[in-house]
């Protein structure tokens, strides 16, 4: 019998689903496949390895780099859809300054976990956007390393699916 690892409580509270093996969204699966191809036999690829990606995933990808000596993450590259969903202002690229605070808190925890484990993670969560509407967000976060030993960047993607909230059963 296989025993699955239990998500740490700080992640279980923030995400409806965590998956180390794969993403459920087709575009995020393509992004993960691209990351794995560029990684090759190494533990982690560099940000430069992922500079030129397939056009079909370009809109939803992001690359964040850890700022020197801090726990701050700064976007060095975002596709237009990723930038919109992340709430990144045109001039400000720091994670702490994103215009979507509910997403920011989740990303910070996800990035910290990926940096600690050096393994990619896919995570999904639900946001209530207005009464009767919800938005499912799925995020892929995969480690990057400039020296092959320490995680100093995150490559990933983000997708959103809006839907009507389920009526309460009576």
Residue 53 pLDDT? 85
Residue 167 pLDDT? 56
Residue 164 pLDDT? 63
Residue 2 pLDDT? 39
Residue 170 pLDDT? 40
Counting every residue written for the chain, the total comes to 170
Residue 166 pLDDT? 60
Residue 3 pLDDT? 42
Phi, psi of 143 (to 5 degrees): -75, 150
Go through the domains of the chain in sequence order and give each one's CATH number. Answer: 15-42+61-164 (3.30.450.20)
**Average pLDDT, 10 consecutive residues per value, the chain (170 residues):** 57 76 87 95 94 89 86 89 82 78 87 93 85 86 94 94 61
Residue 169 pLDDT? 46
Q: Which of 73, 98, 96, 80 is nearest to 88 (CA)?
A: 98
Say how many C-beta atoms besides its own lie within 10 A of residue 117's C-beta. 12
Q: Are 127 and 100 in contact (CB under 8 A)?
A: no
């Amino acid at each position: 019998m296989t025993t699955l690892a239990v998500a740490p409580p700080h992640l279980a509270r923030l995400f409806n689903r965590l998956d180390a093996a794969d993403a459920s969204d087709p575009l995020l699966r393509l992004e993960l496949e691209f990351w794995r191809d560029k990684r090759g036999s190494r533990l982690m690829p560099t940000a430069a390895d992922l500079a030129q990606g397939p056009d079909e995933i370009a809109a939803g990808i992001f690359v964040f780099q850890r700022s020197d000596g801090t726990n701050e993450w700064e976007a060095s590259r975002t596709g237009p859809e990723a930038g919109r969903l992340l709430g990144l202002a045109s001039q400000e690229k720091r994670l702490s300054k994103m215009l979507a605070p509910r997403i920011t808190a989740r990303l910070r925890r996800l990035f910290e976990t990926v940096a600690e484990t050096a393994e990619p993670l896919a995570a999904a969560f639900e946001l209530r956007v207005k009464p009767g509407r919800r938005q499912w967000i799925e995020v892929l976060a995969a480690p990057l390393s400039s020296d092959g030993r320490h995680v100093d960047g995150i490559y990933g993607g983000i997708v959103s699916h809006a839907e009507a909230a389920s009526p309460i059963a009576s």
